[in-house]
Amino acid sequence: MTGSREAVASVAGAPDYNAGGSSLNDSLKFDLADTLHSYFGVSSDTNPYINIDLNSKFFDIQDLILSQKNRNSPVFLSINVRSLHSKIDVIKEIILNLKNNNISIISIAIQEVWKIVHEDSLQIQDFTLFLFY
């Protein structure tokens, strides 16, 4: 993958993607738990996810730190980067910031990485790199 152009359109009733996470978090369209409960129902007999805390909200770094600071549950990060090579240092800073705030990161899924040229430059301390094309 070598890159892409981004198109921006305004749709009535669509979340404002430039307004930060709160606009996206208010939309049930992006709520994983609501989607699974709609599909499987709300009974533990039919829904294997009913007793799992599925929090897949959008956060900026400070909001993520505030939301996780006093919790002992692991964090799975999912990030769209639009070119990993140009953002790897920022990602490393974010991870260090989270670790310094005692946020336990178990896994990081990075999307929109574009072209991978030098895998060795993408290593993140304490994580194992897996690439899927």
Give, for all 133 residues of the chain, the pLDDT tens digit: 333 333 222 233 333 444 455 567 777 777 777 788 888 888 878 888 778 777 667 788 888 888 888 778 788 888 888 888 899 999 999 999 999 999 888 899 998 888 888 888 899 999 998 887 7
**Residue 78: predicted pLDDT:** 85
What is the pLDDT, as a whole number, of residue 39?
Answer: 87
Residues 108 and 95 sit within 8 Å (Cβ to Cβ): yes
Q: Which residues contact 53 (CB under 8 A, 6 or more apart)?
A: 73
Q: What does the pLDDT read at residue 3? A: 34
Task: Name every residue whose Cβ is closer than 8 Å to that of residue 109 and which is 6 or more positions away in sequence.
Answer: 76, 77, 78, 79
Torsion of CA 67, 69, 72, 75, to 10 degrees: 60
What pLDDT score does 40 carry? Answer: 87
Predicted pLDDT of residue 1 = 32
- What is the pLDDT, as a whole number, of residue 93? 92
Burial 92-103 (b: 16+ CB within 10 A, else e): eebbeebeeeeb
CA-closest candidate to residue 80, choices 36, 11, 17, 22:
17
Q: What is the pLDDT of residue 21?
A: 54
> CB-side exposure of 47: number of CA atoms within 13 Å?
17
In angstroms, rounded to a whole number, what is the distance separating the alpha carbons of residues 39 and 22? Answer: 25
pTM: 0.61
Which pair of structure tokens corresponds to residue 76? 């799975």
